[in-house]
């Protein structure tokens, strides 16, 4: 299995499928690069090089005690892209990974990035404050941390319903998809899972979005129960110089089922 060494010595696992223009994927919380397998195969089948890593503390990467914060996540991504000497990169990020690729594109890309695509992404900022009164209160994220500490196995099983919208009438998402969410979540170290809640909820990407100067698609389902669209995509689009909004009616946070089919079609068109 391939690993990349980060500046602090952390070993970051990554998948590298296909040949051609690189498309680099970043996953959400509490998942791994496995969440992007369908898309990795899709881009590789269409003449691109699909790359996805396990964020530190997640999956097969090092479970470091320190560094479970957004700036270190971005440094890990930068080290991977630089060590593989990737150029003309298309960045794709879901949820927490959306924040990761936005910050990388704004602060670390050094001309290596040509396009950005996010789905259900956390930018601009999730937490409620005087500057962001429509955000989610701190108590909501404290409940997530408490669930992770108390019984993360059951917490992930329960959370998968909101993640994939199976608590909505007419959902077409399988139990298998929910089981895979649990499987991936259970590979995440407890410290990483706990610390990452602060990283995805309190990081402010407003200035990062304003700094992006390459074409960008900001995609989101309008029934996202994890990252509410009115405080995410709807606020992010006006901040980016060259951004297009894609809204998927009735789609949840998790990329699966009909939502995945529609999003993958738009992604392939965008990178082609």
pLDDT tens by residue, the chain, 272 residues: 799 999 999 999 999 999 999 999 999 999 999 999 999 999 999 999 999 999 999 999 999 999 999 999 999 999 999 999 999 999 999 999 999 999 999 999 999 999 999 999 999 999 999 999 999 999 999 999 999 999 999 999 999 999 999 999 999 999 999 999 999 999 999 999 999 999 999 999 999 999 999 999 999 999 999 999 999 999 999 999 999 999 999 999 999 999 999 999 999 999 99
Count the Cβ atoms, other than its own, within 10 Å of residue 131. Answer: 10
CATH code 3.40.50.1820 for 3-271: yes
Instruction: Tell me which residue of 176, 166, 162 sits closest to 95, measured CA to CA.
Output: 162
Tokens 């890593």 appear where? 53
Distance, in Å, from the CA atom of 148 to the CA atom of 142, rounded to the nearest integer, reads: 10
Catalytic status, residue 53: no
Catalytic status, residue 253: yes
Question: Of 95, 160, 201, 203, which residue is the catalytic one?
Answer: 95
CA distances from 63 to 5, 57, 154, 190, 193 (A): 13, 4, 22, 9, 10
Catalytic status, residue 208: no
Contact 199, 89 (CB under 8 A): no
Question: Of 27, 58, 94, 253, which residue is the catalytic one?
Answer: 253
Q: What is the pTM of this model?
A: 0.98
Residue 1 has what pLDDT? 74
Tokens of 219: 């995609």
Cα four-point dihedral sign 26, 29, 30, 36 = negative
């Amino acid at each position: 299995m391939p690993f990349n060494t980060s500046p602090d010595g952390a070993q970051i696992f990554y998948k590298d499928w296909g040949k051609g223009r690189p498309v680099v994927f970043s996953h959400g919380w509490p998942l791994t690069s496995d969440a992007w397998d369908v898309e990795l195969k899709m881009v590789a089948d269409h003449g691109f090089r699909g790359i996805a890593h396990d964020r530190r503390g997640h999956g097969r990467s090092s479970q470091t005690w320190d560094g479970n914060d957004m700036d270190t996540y971005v440094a890990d991504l930068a080290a991977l892209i630089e060590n593989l000497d990737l150029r003309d990169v298309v960045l794709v990020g879901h949820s927490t990974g959306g924040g990761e690729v936005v910050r990388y594109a704004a602060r670390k890309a050094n001309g290596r990035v040509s396009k950005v695509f996010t789905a259900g992404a956390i930018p601009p900022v999730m937490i409620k404050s005087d500057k962001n009164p429509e955000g989610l209160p701190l108590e909501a994220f404290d409940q997530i941390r408490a669930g992770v500490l108390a019984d993360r196995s059951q917490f992930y099983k329960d959370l998968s319903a909101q993640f994939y919208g199976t608590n909505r009438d007419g959902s077409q998402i399988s139990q298998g998809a929910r089981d895979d969410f649990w499987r991936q979540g259970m590979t995440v170290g407890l410290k990483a899972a706990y610390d990452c809640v602060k990283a995805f909820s309190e990081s402010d990407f407003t200035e990062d979005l304003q700094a992006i100067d390459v074409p960008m698609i900001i995609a989101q389902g309008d029934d996202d129960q994890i990252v509410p669209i009115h405080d995410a995509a709807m606020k992010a689009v006006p901040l980016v110089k060259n951004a297009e909004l894609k809204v998927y009616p009735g789609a949840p946070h998790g990329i699966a089922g009909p939502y995945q089919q529609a999003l993958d079609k738009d992604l392939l068109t965008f990178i082609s």
